[in-house]
Amino acid sequence: MGVLALMATLATSCRKSSGEATHTEAGADAGADAGDDGGAAAPLPPGAKACGHPAATPSQVVTAFLEASKARDLQGMLSCFKPQHRQRMAGREARLEELTVLSFTLGQETIDGESAEVQATVQRYDGRGGIEHKRDPIRLEREGGAWYFR
């Protein structure tokens, strides 16, 4: 099961649009962070990590996960999953590490109550030495005021 497939099995979709951002190996941001409602997301405090932070948007959590994958930071990746699911995901460490993200682009973010979905296009290693491009929605759920993968 791929990284996006793991993430794509998670919550439901809805209708709040955000800007599109592209992230390369260098981590450059080529898009806007403001939603189409005219307001920008409040920035996280300096040094704050998106995963588990109540001020983080779903897109910021997805970005943190994918950046952690690029850096091969398993603990950073695991911090984006709900606390009760981290041990199970840690058991898939080898699979998570072999699917290293090279670059990604985030598209529309939709939020419906306690569920959110972020469109993502990811270029990554496929686990067989090749490179693949995947476009899938990534679903999140709010728990304890913060957004997490399930």
The whole-number pLDDT of residue 42 equals 63
Cα–Cα distance between 42 and 10 in angstroms, integer?
Answer: 25
Cα–Cα distance between 86 and 34 in angstroms, integer?
Answer: 30
At residue 94, φ and ψ (nearest 5 deg) are -60, -40
Per-residue pLDDT of 17-59, as tens digits, reads 334 444 443 333 333 333 333 344 567 777 789 999 999 999 9
What does the block give as tokens for 3? 């990284």
Computed over every residue of the chain, the mean pLDDT equals 76
Per-residue pLDDT of 70-110, as tens digits, reads 998 989 999 999 988 888 888 888 777 777 899 999 999 99
User: Strand 101-112 and strand 131-143: pairing?
Assistant: unpaired
Q: Which domains does the chain have, with CATH numbers?
A: 3-30+56-148 (3.10.450.50)
| Residues 122 and 101 sit within 8 Å (Cβ to Cβ) | yes
The whole-number pLDDT of residue 135 equals 93
The whole-number pLDDT of residue 34 equals 33
Angle at 83 between CA 79 and CA 87, to 5 degrees: 85
| Secondary structure class of 135 (helix, strand, coil) | strand
Cα–Cα distance between 147 and 61 in angstroms, integer?
Answer: 7
Alpha helices in 3-85 (DSSP H): 3-8, 58-70, 74-78
